[in-house]
Amino acid sequence: MTSALEVTGPSLEALAPLLDPFELGSLRLQNRLVMAPMTRNFSPENVPGADVAAYYERRARGGVGLIISEGTLIDHPAASGYPDVPFFHGERALAGWSAVVEGVHAHGGKFAPQLWHCGSVRQLGMPPDPAVGGVAPSAVPHPGAGVLGGSADAELPHELRDAEIADIIAAFARAAGDAVRIGCDAVEFHGAHGYLIDQFFWDKTNRRTDGWGGDFVARTRFAAEIVKAARKQVPADFPLILRFSQWKLGGYRDKLVESPQELERWLAPLVQAGVDVFHCSTRRYYQPEFEGSELNLAGWTKQLTGKPTISVGSVGLDTDFFRTNVGADTAQASIEPLLERLGAGEFDLIAVGRALLADPDWLEKLRSGRAEEIVGFQNGMKATLY
């Protein structure tokens, strides 16, 4: 391992897969680097201000191809689970996001809001309306409530009725239409980590016996209906991204599927519904998803569907964030194997979160041979560039 004082980054030749342009429908990216969504709680009254616009513009100026926003709340009273998280509805919030889009576009970047409903993570007393509690596919406590900031003995969420499910689907679709209206380049639906869409996927939170429940394939219906409804609100070539994960906050060992065969069956209804890109959330991009293959979740998803995929997980860091939180062991992840896998076509795009949070010029410093200048985290995490 190269010492921190002797860091040298990859050559331009090695970086080529990351710097290649990417096209899908109306989306034209200058490179394969995606800024991963990261919740910030920096939007008082749920409105993104000038500081939020400057934050995203700074990463676009650093050369990020596609910026996916922090989770933004759809127009439903129970959508929020955290304070100061931005709305993606209402004139004030959408005007704020319009300013974000303008700033990102000014530097050649593209922008996609992540549309979010927290579901049963929400508890009574939370803003913006303390009188509204959480909702879910089934009236069971969220298994990760304690980890997610709520009480470990959280109250039961309200089990959604058919008409309420229809309202939420319509709210996701309206948000997708609003994204087109203010100039966004794609949208991402947050179907990962134990939030509402994922609560429909997950057997621990979806125990329904009607048309919104069933086996692991049938439980994709809610997400599929959101995608179908959104497709009617956006141009045919406007990309719809679905982020999904096997693991959950508070459920790191949980899995939606156990094999490539199950994954293929699970993905099929989502592809048919109109998902254009799958954002496959893993904690470490370099770990194989199933035994007998080195492919990660994004690699398997691309192979099984033919759809473009975004991979993510501990890129550019030598210490995993969750070590301090849950004591998980981690290994150092060099950027070189990542570039090789990207170049081989295992996946199409790579999302980077904390490394870009630490240094907005992460890519530009790599590209210009200034790897030794990349900023690490104040708590001791450093960019891994060997």
Point out the residues that are catalytic. Answer: 195
- Report residue 48 as tokens: 């993104």
Q: Which helix (H) or strand (E) holds 113?
A: strand 110-116
Contact 229, 221 (CB under 8 A): no
Reduced DSSP (H G I as helix, E B as strand, rest coil) percent helix, strand, coil of the chain, to 5: 35, 15, 50
Helix (H, G, I), strand (E, B) or coil at 170: helix
Neighbouring C-beta atoms of residue 41, cutoff 10 Å: 11
DSSP 8-state assignment for residue 289: S
* Lookup result for tokens 């254009």: 276
- Report residue 54 as tokens: 């400057």
- Report residue 385 as tokens: 């560039």
Helix (H, G, I), strand (E, B) or coil at 84: coil
Instruction: For residue 117, give Cα distances in angstroms to 74, 156, 165, 175, 277.
Output: 6, 17, 12, 12, 20
- Does residue 137 have a cis bond before it (omega within 30 degrees)? no
DSSP 8-state assignment for residue 327: -
209 sits in the region (left: phi over 0; alpha: psi -120 to 50; else beta) called alpha
Instruction: For residue 349, give Cα distances in angstroms to 35, 98, 148, 285.
Output: 10, 25, 28, 12
Instruction: For residue 159, give Cα distances in angstroms to 21, 137, 162.
Output: 45, 5, 10
Determine the Cα–Cα distance for residues 158 and 130; give it in Å rounded to an integer.
15
